[in-house]
Structure 1
Amino acid sequence: MPVPRGSAIHDLWAGTKLLVVFAISVLLTFYPGWVTIGLMAALVLVAAWIAHIPRGAVPSMPRWLFVVLAFGGLTAALAGGDPMVSVGGVELGLGGALNFLRITALSIVLLALGAMVSWTTNVAEIGPAVATLGRPLRLLRIPVDEWAVVLALALRAFPMLIDEFQVLYAARRLRPRPMPVTRKARRQRRGMEVIDLLAAAITVTLRRADEMGDAITARGGTGQLSANPTRPKLGDWVTLAITAATSGAAVVIETMLHAA
């Protein structure tokens, strides 16, 4: 959900944010070095500072995720590799641990990029932006407008479905249930509960889809979902220029380090 605060990042065109995310993702795919990750992380932090993103917007991570990360780091450290360090006369390879840390940092940067788009962009702006960015693909007879409509509908329906599923789960927990005696009876009860939840979820989804279809028809059809006259402004071009300059600097530094 977008953070309800006005800032230069909030005022950017949604297509600009999508282009920045795509460009940085491609850059990190081909140049996943520490310099590139550090520069992109700094870029994301500066954007978050400009957008006035509060700490409360960052979701809390469950404890089991830290356990999984620690286990993954331990198993990766066992792989060894360069660089080597000597501890008490024993040679230890830090290559595996450093690679794991690099992959983890890269994943955090990509997640932060997606979160920045979510925090600073209205859902209604994504569909028109995708339709505008994909306009050249119409020459190849690709249904860009239909894809934009599907994406816009999915983004709008997702929060509503989450709320419905939370209500269903709460109702399931409040429902009185007899305690089964045998293990087989417990397995059967869990299976029946899963079937009931799936049936209720499908029913709720179909009902929501019917209501949304009626609302869209009353407002002029699906064409309104991908129609938005918003276009890039000066701030968007400045953002793209800063992103391009930072990406170019990262590529140059990474190339120089590998050549040295």
Structure 2
Amino acid sequence: MSARKQRRQVVLLRPVPGRTVIHDLWAGAKLLIVAGIGVLLTFYPGWVPIAAVAILVAVAARMAHIPRGVLPTIPRWLWFLLALGALTATFAGGSPVIALGSVEIGLGGLLNFLRITALSIVLLGLGAMVSWTTNVAEIAPAVAALGRPLRPLRIPVDDWAVAVSLALRAFPMLIDEFSVLYAARRLRPQDVDVHRRARGRRWAAELIDLLAAAITVALRRADEMGDAITARGGAGQISAAPSRPARRDWVAFAVVIVVCAVALAVELTVLPTSAARS
């Protein structure tokens, strides 16, 4: 038994089992909410909007009964990179400034780095929530329904919806196949090469073999998926399912709009006034 603790892998594009209010929301409503929050945080990436969105994600995760086991294990090298980034950002200085004896240290760069890091974590959590509470089969009908106003412009909305759905379906399968290939490669006996050039050639050959095997597996999976789609009536059936918002979706829209509006109002009015007084 290995003494090293087994790391939890990233669980994406696989809904967590359960039947909650968040699971029952329309997939198109979740996509619109994510898009709206993304636009808000793009133009106003302040602490208040970030905190408001983080609270929304935490409440949604609580309501959807998302277990802690779906969270991946953070590797140590990522913590090292974050610490290194925070240290280098501190050298940028800026207000506020603290005095440690005769030395003044500006914390503006560090605060900006922490704000960007928090923004990245919140956006990742928002996308993960959609992944953990949405069935992949519901994405294509939702995208087709959202793109309905573009059909008079002769834009192939249904084809786009099918392409998105197939890509989301294939992604978890390919990850599993690549994991098996990588595990099989690690089980192969390794030759001990003394010369650096020989080791480089061996690594290059193994990389070529791994890429060739990955391409073969991807083509085989694509052929199997094509046969399954043909047996079920063709690609048009993927986006043909009825998909429309319900009353709970409008309630979710209202809650998100109110929270984002309050956060934006606080960010634009209360905080600048407090900063001017100080």
Q: TM-score, normalised by structure 1?
A: 0.97
CA deviation after TM superposition for structure 1 residue 258, in Å: 5.6
Q: Residues 95-152 of structure 1: CA distance to partner in whole angstroms, max 9, x if unpaired? A: 0000001001111110000010011011111111111111112232221111111111
- Choose which of 50, 56, 65 in structure 1 pairs with 2:63: 50
**Per-residue displacement from partner, 1:153-206 (whole Å, max 9, x unpaired)?**
111111111111111112222223432232111110000000001111111111
Q: Match of 2:151?
A: 138
Counterpart CA distance in 1 for 2:128 and 2:176 is 20
1:238 match: secondary structure: helix
Q: Does 1:87 align with 2:100?
A: yes
Residues in 2 aligned to 1:190 and 1:25: alpha-carbon distance in whole angstroms: 41
Identify the range of structure 1 (81-90 vs 6-15) with the bigger mean alpha-carbon deviation.
81-90
Match of 1:207 among 203, 216, 220: 220
- 1:28 — aligned with what? 41
Question: For the residues of structure 1 that align with 2:259 and 2:206, how far apart are their CA atoms?
Answer: 52
1:68-111 deviation per Cα after TM superposition (whole angstroms, max 9, x unaligned): 00000110111010111122132211100000010011111100
Q: For residues 33 and 196 of structure 1, what CA distance do their matches in structure 2 show? A: 48
State how 1:52-131 maps to structure 2 within 5 Å: 52-131=65-144
CA distance in 2, matches of 1:259, 1:71: 31
The answer as to 2:248 corresponding to 1:235 is yes
The structure 1 residue matched to 2:194, chosen from 158, 181, 185, is 181
Q: Please, which of 187, 194, 197 is the counterpart of residue 207 of structure 2?
A: 194
Report deviation, 1:255: 1.3
CA distance in 2, matches of 1:244, 1:139: 30
Q: Which amino acid aligns with 1:158?
A: F
Preserved contact between residue 26 and residue 245 of structure 2 (Cα < 8 Å): yes
Query: What is the alpha-carbon distance in structure 2 between the residues aligned to residue 198 and residue 72 of structure 1?
Result: 33
Match of 1:160 in 2: 173
Aligned residues: 260
Letter in 1 for 2:205: M
Deviations 1:213-253 (A, max 9, x none): 11101110001111221321111000000011111111211
- Normalising by the residue count of structure 2, what TM-score does the alignment of the two structures yield? 0.91
SS in 2 for 1:10: helix
CA distance in 2, matches of 1:176, 1:30: 53
**What's the CA shift for 1:61?**
0.8
Name the structure 1 match of 2:161: 148
2:231 paired residue among 218, 222, 229? 218
Greater displacement, 226-235 / 40-49: 226-235
Which blocks of at least 5 consecutive residues in structure 1 are unaligned?
none
State how far apart, in whole Å, the 1-side matches of 2:74 and 2:258 are.
33
Unaligned runs of 5+ in 2: 1-13, 274-278
CA distance in 2, matches of 1:178, 1:48: 48
After superposition, what is the alpha-carbon deviation per residue over 1:27-70, rounded to whole angstroms, capped at 9, x for unaligned? 00111111111111111111111111111111111111100000
Amino acid at match of 1:205: A
Q: Note closer, same or farther for the CA distance 1:89–1:151 as it changes in structure 2 (3 Å cut).
A: same
